[in-house]
Amino acid sequence: MNSKITLNQLADNIAKSTGSNSLTAKAFIQDLTDIIAEALSKGKSVTIKGLGTFSVSDDIDPSVIWHPDESLAENVNQPFEAFEPVELEEGVTEEILEGGGPQESTGPEMPVQDLPQEEQAVQEIDSETTQPAETHVIETPETSGNETDETTDSIMEMPEEVPDSTEHSEPQESEEQYYEAKPRRRSALNPWMMLITGLLAGFIIGYFSAPYIARLLPSYGSVQIPPTDPAESTGIYPDSISASELDDTESATVKSDTVSQHQATEPVTAPPVEVTDTVTQRRYLTTMARKYYGDYRFWVYIYLENSDIITNPNRIKPGTAVVIPPAEKYGIDASDPESVAEANEKIRAILEKLDK
Amino acid sequence: MNHNAVIETLSERLQRDKKDVNALLEGFVSAIQEYLCEMDSVQLPGFGTFSSRKEDEKIVTDLSTGKKLLLPPAITLEFNQSAILKRKIAD
């Protein structure tokens, strides 16, 4: 990442991939650049397949212009190929799109470099996001029914929220949050609180409509909502029991309880359920680690557990289902600084390996 | 000067088979692509530096229609000529 590759490193790389030695590769690169430079000094342009065209500008002060090959530009831009320019509605301003923390601006594929920022942002929203969910679970025995309610509600809300924005609009250019869905959800937290209270009051309605909504859910596949799979909801189930006793405990400890409690009740609930989760464009390994273990740094264990399907933790295809290992397997404990340090050590080792 | 001409000249200079040179050139291109994808920059002495730069998403306004467009982020590729190359061209 952002490192400078020298001629020797490049030569080594070429030698490895072509099976020749690095001295040959070095001589080759030097000859190649000489040939290009000679042709350019004669005013000719040079085209190399897969790399692009070098030409000389006809200014008073001539300089070399490089037009990257289309395939090269495409490959480099692969992380963003899913996006297309979006026409904005009248009255949508930057402030409305912004709303979120700084972590989205660097894109979904790079959770690791974002860690420091993400941590802050997540901590900021932590109290908001987890608390309502907790109280919600505590007060309603019918967890799974309401879980589906929540999801569909968020689906229904999202399209509505974009147009109902304020009137003023200024033609300014600045960095924008492209993933508007996430800030939307966050800023909608207060309405969420009211919504949840409304849900509790109208619990019976939710109870009866739950099976119907559950049937509707798969048809919303195109909307990027992290799917609530059965394993996840059973994971929360024991939590609701323990949480009702613990009441207002710190969210982190309750979260780690979730997994262990789940493990404990497993023999009783017959088939051992594997906890899985799905990576989406705004749901990273770090998000999951925070949810299941209480600290984002433990993403490294999820990565290790799934190393057969994930090669680069920075580049996980959205939609990849990953297995969440039980906390005991790696001795994960968010309140134990030693465990956190161990995770940090592992992260460093993995990043070093990737850098090579 | 196109791709084949480059290979021909190179095989003459290196006294090697065109096939070998082609393989080396392919390795060169794919290595550079690999580095650029990782947002690294590749420095070739006497020639220049290949680098990639990430542009964040932004809003642009079409002045004629007043319509606003949200452009997705993109990575642009850049080439910075070295001073030696610049001097060669200027001569």
| pLDDT tens digits for range A80-120 | 877 888 877 766 666 666 654 444 444 444 444 444 444 44
Per the model's pLDDT, the better-predicted residue between A163 and A71 turns out to be A71
Residues B51, B25 within the same domain:
no
Per the model's pLDDT, the better-predicted residue between A329 and A356 turns out to be A329
Residues B46, B81 within the same domain:
yes
Element (DSSP H or E) covering residue A279: none
Q: Tell me the nearest-neighbour CA distance from A282 into chain B, angstroms.
A: 15
- Per-residue model confidence as pLDDT tens digits over A316-346: 878 888 888 888 788 788 788 888 888 888 8
CA-wise closest residue to A180 among B36, B50, B59, B34: B59
Q: Chain A partners of B71 at a C-beta cutoff of 8 Å?
A: 85
Per the model's pLDDT, the better-predicted residue between A227 and B13 turns out to be B13
Given a cut of 70, whether residue A125 has pLDDT beyond it is no
| Contact yes or no for B44 and A37 at CB 8 A | no
3-state SS assignment for residue A99: coil
B contact residues 21-40, partner A, Cβ 8 Å cutoff: 21, 23-40
Neighbours of A44 (CB within 10 A): 14
Token pair 């996840």: residue: A232
Q: What is the pLDDT of residue A188?
A: 53
Given a cut of 50, whether residue A149 has pLDDT beyond it is no
3-state SS assignment for residue B43: strand
Among A33-42, A222-231, A298-307, where is mean pLDDT lowest? A222-231
Mean pLDDT confidence for B17-24: 86
Residues B26, B46 within the same domain:
no
Instruction: Check if B7 contacts A (Cβ < 8 Å).
Output: no
- Which of B29, B58, B77 has the CB atom closest to A48's CB atom? B29
Residues B49, B27 within the same domain:
no
Instruction: Check if B83 contacts A (Cβ < 8 Å).
Output: no
Which residues are CB-contacts of A212 (< 8 A; sequence separation ≥ 6)?
Answer: none
| Contact yes or no for B13 and A31 at CB 8 A | yes
Residues B7, B19 within the same domain:
yes
| Contact yes or no for B25 and A175 at CB 8 A | no
Residues B27, B1 within the same domain:
yes
Q: Tell me the nearest-neighbour CA distance from B30 into chain A, angstroms.
A: 8
- Output the domain CATH number for residue B56: 4.10.520.10
Q: Chain B partners of A60 at a C-beta cutoff of 8 Å?
A: none
Among A21-25, A27-31, A119-123, A336-340, where is mean pLDDT lowest? A119-123
Q: Chain A partners of B34 at a C-beta cutoff of 8 Å?
A: 13
- Which of A27, A80, A105 has the CB atom closest to B74's CB atom? A80
Report how far residue B85's alpha carbon sits from residue B81's, in angstroms, rounded to the nearest whole number: 6
Q: What is the pLDDT of residue A92?
A: 66
What percentage of chain A reaches a pLDDT higher than 90? 0
Residues B34, B59 within the same domain:
no
Mean pLDDT confidence for A57-73: 83
Report how far residue A51's alpha carbon sits from residue A35's, in angstroms, rounded to the nearest whole number: 15
Residues B30, B49 within the same domain:
no
Given a cut of 60, whether residue A231 has pLDDT beyond it is no
- Per-residue model confidence as pLDDT tens digits over B37-90: 888 888 988 888 998 888 888 888 888 887 888 888 888 888 888 888 888 887
- Interface probe with A: pick from B7, B51, B54, most Cβ of A within 10 Å: B54
Q: Chain A partners of B41 at a C-beta cutoff of 8 Å?
A: 2-5
Six-digit token string for A89:
């509605």
Mean pLDDT confidence for A66-89: 83
CA dist list (Å): A313 to A59, A257, A278, A286: 45, 26, 14, 10
Given a cut of 70, whether residue A65 has pLDDT beyond it is yes
Half-sphere exposure of A68 (CA within 13 A, CB side): 21
Q: Chain B partners of A56 at a C-beta cutoff of 8 Å?
A: 89
Q: What is the pLDDT of residue A321?
A: 83
Give the range of the structural domain holding residue B54, as residue numbers without chain letter: 42-91
Residues B20, B58 within the same domain:
no
Mean pLDDT confidence for A211-235: 54
Q: What is the pLDDT of residue A110?
A: 43
Among A66-70, A214-218, B29-33, B73-77, where is mean pLDDT lowest? A214-218
Q: What is the pLDDT of residue B70?
A: 86
Instruction: Check if B15 contacts A (Cβ < 8 Å).
Output: no
Residues B84, B70 within the same domain:
yes
Which residues are CB-contacts of A338 (< 8 A; sequence separation ≥ 6)?
Answer: none
| Contact yes or no for B77 and A86 at CB 8 A | no
Q: Chain A partners of B64 at a C-beta cutoff of 8 Å?
A: none
Q: What is the pLDDT of residue A157?
A: 46
Residues B22, B57 within the same domain:
no
Size of interface A-B (CB pairs under 8 A): 201
Residues B32, B70 within the same domain:
no
| Interface confidence (ipTM) of the complex | 0.87
Q: How many domains does chain B have?
A: 2
CA angle A48, A50, A51 (to 5 degrees): 60
